[in-house]
Amino acid sequence: MTRTRTAMLAALTLVAGASGTALAAHSASAGAAAPACTVDYKVQNDWGSGFTAAVTVTNNGAATSAWSLGWTYAGSQKVTNGWNAKVSQSGAAVTAANESYNGTLSTGGSASFGFQATYSGTNAVPAAFTLNGVTCNVDGGGPTDPTDPTDPTDPPETGDRVDNPYEGAKVYVNPEWSAKAAAEPGGARVANQPTGVWLDRIAAINGVNGGMGLRDHLDEALAQKGSGELAVQLVIYNLPGRDCAALASNGELGPTEIDKYKTQYIDPIAAILADPKYAGLRIVTTVEIDSLPNLVTNVSGRPTATPNCDVMKANGNYQKGVGYALNKLGDIGNVYNYVDAGHHGWLGWDDNFGASADMFKTAATTEGATVGDVHGFIVNTANYSALKEDHFKITDSVNGTSVRQSKWVDWNRYTDELSYAQAMRDKLVSIGFDQSLGMLIDTSRNGWGGTARPTGPGATTTVDTYVNGGRYDRRIHLGNWCNQSGAGLGERPQAGPAAGIDAYVWMKPPGESDGASKEIENDEGKGFDRMCDPTYQGNARNGNSPSGALPDAPVSGHWFSAQFQELMKNAYPPLS
C-alpha cells in the first residue's frame, strides 16, 4: 500500500440467503458510494460433513496486480484444498491469495476460485470479507447511515488513510505499564505516557499469565479513542533465531521455524488486526527489532561475526519473516508498518549504512511484500543514543584532528539519532521507498539529563577531551546497550517534531529490563548475555569496554524498578 491509500468503512453484517450465498447487505442508495469490492460466496455441494464452495470477488477500487481475500468462519469449517487460488487457514481465519496467472484485478475486474472443506454442526456463510485489507460488500448509505453517530447499528468508522498516523491522534496508553509506573514513587508524572505493546512470543497474542492479550489491548484502545483518532503501537518481535548476536533477547523460535512464525504468530495477529471492529484505530506496527542489521554487521568477514548470525544469513529466514509480516499486515487498510533500522551507533559507519538500506529493501520485497507495504522506519528502539548532540558536529576538528577520529565517534558519519534518521530516510527513498517515508525515533531512554549532562563543549586540549566533555550520551561505549547506568527518559512522545520524522515515541516501555544481570531460568527463550553483567569487561562489539549495565536486573521485558527510578532521575527534559 502507499501512504496515501484510502481506507474504507468497516464491514456491515452480511445477509446470507437460503441458497447459501453471501451478497451485499443492501443496495447502494442514490448518491451513495459503491462498495470497494463485492464477494459472491456460494456453497455448491453440501453433504453434511463437508462441502465445496465457489467464490467470485469483484474489485471496484484501484487496479491491483495481486489480491488476497480474507474471511473468518464462525463454525468448525476447515479448508482441505482449493483451486485457482492459494487457500490457507489459521484457526478460523481463511486467506485466499491469487495464483501467478490471475493476480491482476482491474477496476471492475473479477476473479473466481473454489475450495473444498469439512465441517461439523452448522455451515454458516462467513459474515464479512476483506480484499487486500479493505472490507467488501459495504456501501456509503442504505437503510442506515454509516456516518450517523446516533445510529446504534452503525459499524465502526475508518477515516482516510493518513500520511502520518500520529498527527491529530491520541496514542494508546497501555494500562498494564501505566499501573506499574504509577505504583513507583514519582511515577505518576509519566504514567499517562503512551508506550509500545510488545508481542514478543506467540503466547502474548492471547495474554501471558492472565495479562492482556492483543484483543484486550485493542478493545481498551477503542475505549480510549472516544470520538477522536487514536494510534496503537505494537512491536512485532518473534523472528526465528531472533537477535542472533545478543543472548538476552533471543526468542522462542529456532532458526528454522519460519513456518511456525508465519502460521502461529503473524497469521493470528493479522486476523485480529483485520477485524472490522478495529477498523477505526490507526495501528502502528514496528516490525522485528534488532535482527536485520545483524546480517550486515555480525556475519563472517566482519570483526564482530557470530556463528548464529551466519546461520540466519544463510537460511534467509530473517528476510522471509520480515517480508511475510509486511505483506500480511500491509494488506490491512488501517495498519501502518514501520521497519526497524537500528541506530547510528550500529549502522552509521560507511561499511554498514548503505548495505543495511539494501538489506531493508531485500526484506521489504520478499514473501510477496513490496516497498508499498512499508510506511516508514524506526530507529533507536530500546536503545540509548542521544537524540541530538548540541556541543560537537561531525564536521568539527580540534587542532587539525577531525571529530570523526575521536575514540567516541570512531569514524562514524553521525553523532546522534536525529541526523542518522534523516540521512537513512533519504537513502531509503533514493533506493525506491516511498517519497513520503516517515521515521520514528524511540526517545524512551535517551535523555541523559541530571547532573552529568554537559552544558557546553569540552576542552579543546584534544579531540577526545572536546567530544567527551560535551557529549550528552554518557555511556562508556556506543556499543553498550543493556540497562545502562546514568540513562534518563528522553523527549516525551510527540507527532511531527522534525523534518522527515513522523514522531518521537516511547516504543520501549521505560522500566522494562533489557536483560538479566546474571543467568535466570525462564520459559521465554531468553538467555543470559554478559553485556547485561555490570562486571563484564566487554568484547569486540563494544571496543572491549566495561558493559555499563545496572546490577540486579531481571529477565528482559520484566519490570526493573531501579532502572525506572534512574530514568526518572536523569530525565531530559526534566520531570516537574
Catalytic annotation, residues: 290, 514
**Residues of the chain by 3-state class (helix, strand, coil), percent to 5:** 25, 20, 55
DSSP 330: H
Q: Residue 473: which of 570, 349, 576 has the closest Cα?
A: 570
Evaluate the omega torsion of the peptide bond into residue 573 and state whether it is cis, within 30 degrees of 0. Answer: yes
Determine the straight-line distance between the first and last CA of the chain, rounded to whole angstroms.
Answer: 42
Q: Which amino acid is at 47?
A: W
Q: Which amino acid is at 103?
A: G
Q: Please enumerate in sequence order all residues whose Cβ is within 8 A of that of 438, keeping only pairs 6 or more positions apart, or say none.
A: 3, 163, 164, 338, 375, 376, 425, 500, 501, 502
Q: What is the C-alpha to C-alpha distance for residues 73 and 127, in angstroms, rounded to an integer? A: 8
DSSP 231: E
Q: What is the C-alpha to C-alpha distance for residues 480 and 407, in angstroms, rounded to an integer? A: 14
DSSP 64: B
C-alpha gyration radius of the chain:
25
> What SS3 class is residue 42?
strand
Q: Which amino acid is at 462?
A: T
Q: What is the C-alpha to C-alpha distance for residues 174 and 509, in angstroms, rounded to an integer? A: 9
> What SS3 class is residue 255?
coil
Q: Compute the C-alpha angle 314/382/531, nearest 5°.
A: 70
Write out the three cell numbers for 251.
Answer: 526468542
Write out the three cell numbers for 203.
Answer: 503466547
Write out the three cell numbers for 343.
Answer: 541506530
Q: Which amino acid is at 38?
A: T
Q: Cα dihedral angle (202, 7, 381, 172), rounded to 10 degrees?
A: -80
DSSP 461: T
